[in-house]
Amino acid sequence: MTQRWYVVQTQTHAENKAAANLLRQEFEVYLPRFEKRRRHARRTEIVAAPLFPRYLFVGVDMETQRWRSIRSTFGVSNLVCNGDEPASVAIGIIDALRKREDEKGFIILGKRQRFSAGDRVRVVEGAFADCLGLFEGMRDEERVTVLLDLLGRKVRVMIDELAVAAA
């Protein structure tokens, strides 16, 4: 089998629907996802989110499969093409993405720090909302240390990473 990987653009928030419908047509589908921390109504939850919103990968053997049906699949917006022919993904890209998955099948992203030590920040929620301070560093995966000026003296507090914004 001479299967290659191609990129499918999906309709908005329809990656899972498109993947399910492509699987029903016996195409191999790869939808890379990661665990995203979402905050809503003072609650934080971990949800599965697509690594490339509105895109997924489909494995097609151009000689034996009817690839034109991909364009008319429910949930699919378009097949990324180069002219009239589908544009294939470089060999090794899908394998490289799969190597970054954890045991649950989610891509592990590198944690990048939003602020550097000494940056001015503003607390946007919680008991210290609207207080200005200096960013000191990350404590763990979700909390940061901020130096606030409270009652004329510097106080070190640890707060949720999402509760801090640039001043």
Residue 1 has pLDDT above 60, yes or no: no
Per CATH, the homologous superfamily of domain 4-99 is NusG, N-terminal domain (3.30.70.940)
* Contact yes or no for 126/106 (Cβ under 8 A): no
In the chain, domain spans: 4-99, 120-166
Task: Considering only residues 48 and 160, tell me which one the structure prediction assigns the higher pLDDT.
Answer: 48
CA distances from 5 to 1, 30, 93 (A): 13, 9, 9
pTM over cut 0.85: no
Burial of 30 (0-12, 13-18, 19+ CB in 10 A): middle
Q: What is the pLDDT of residues 2-53, one digit of tens each?
A: 899 999 999 999 999 999 999 999 999 999 999 887 777 777 788 899 999 9
Count of CB atoms within 10 A of residue 53's CB?
A: 10
What is the layout of strands, in order, in the sheet containing 55-60?
A: 28-30, 55-60, 4-10, 76-79
In this structure, whether the domain defined by 120-166 belongs to CATH 3.40.640.10 is answered with no
User: SS3 of 153, please?
Assistant: strand
Question: What is the C-alpha separation between 72 and 92, in angstroms, rounded?
Answer: 28
